[in-house]
Amino acid sequence: MIQSVALRYLRRYTPKMADEILFDVDEYGIATLTVNRPFARNALSWAAQEQFAESVKAVSQNPAIRVLIITGAGEKAFVSGGDLKELVNYPKREDAQRLKQTMGDALEQLTQLPIPVIAAVNGDAFGGGCELLTACDLRIASAHARFCFAQIKNGLTSGWGATGRLVPLIGKSLALELMLSGRVFDSVEAKQMGFIHRVTDQAVRAAAHEWAQEFVKLPQNALASIKQLVNTAVTASPQEIKATEEALFLDLWTHPNHQEAVEAFLEKRPPKFN
């Protein structure tokens, strides 16, 4: 049933994609977005950026999707930012505005999705690739993956909203050190600093899919509410956080999913959430 609903919405909302971005939804409602430019270390061309944004929009309009996984093709790179070989031909201020708006808006929309977003970091994430990671909820990386906020080496700051997301993730001091130096760090250090949640020696896409299946079993409305509450807690006042928590908690309390959880507990059986 999930598969048929997912495919119906996919046909309705997802524009036809070129091979630079691959997008599919499986029978569990788990969507996978793959940046498919391994020949360019999965650097994002103009076309790939636009297709990435269209894919995120498609996910936002598809209620059958329960989890989104983002990854890169191949084993060498996750995403290495914008494709400099193409962007070198676009030196004007309006070109920079186009670059910032296309991916900046897409990553902002990514953070607002009411479903878990998992980054399956199959290889190096440099520059804009690290920016993309800050917009994901959860991050699992291959043991060989490396990371670098390389913007300083190109004479730039972040352009896709990463700084505002990175500081709450790892703190001001460490964010400054990484972004000022542009140094490369590995998966072990990334996990130690809280930038990566899990590191695996196994196939990272399979590990991410296994993780995603855990969320498919949980009540979708509660997952969405928790994301909303945590995002509110980053910037809102204590009073606003308290008010948001109260409103969400009260709504969830009377929802059939909560009632099902209580009944399943009393009957000593697994819950079946809507």
How many whole angstroms from its chain centre is CA 213? Answer: 16
| Single-letter residue type at 106 | A
Positive/negative CA dihedral, 79, 44, 230, 204: negative
Digit-by-digit pLDDT tens for the chain (274 residues) are 444 444 444 444 444 445 899 999 999 999 999 999 999 999 999 999 999 999 999 999 999 999 999 999 999 999 998 888 888 788 899 988 998 999 999 999 999 999 999 999 999 999 999 999 999 999 999 999 999 999 999 999 999 999 999 999 999 999 999 999 999 999 999 999 999 999 999 999 999 999 999 999 999 999 999 999 999 999 999 999 999 999 999 999 999 999 999 999 999 999 999 8
Fold held by 2-216: 2-enoyl-CoA Hydratase; Chain A, domain 1 (3.90.226)
The architecture of the domain spanning 220-266 is Orthogonal Bundle (1.10)
- Measured between its terminal Cα atoms, the distance across the chain in Å is 13
Question: What pTM did the predictor assign?
Answer: 0.91
Domain positions in the chain are 2-216, 220-266
What is the DSSP secondary-structure string of 38-96? GGGTT-B-HHHHHHHHHHHHHHHT-TT--EEEEEESSSSEEE-SB-HHHHTT--SHHHH
Could you give the maximum distance between any two Cα atoms of the chain, in Å? 65
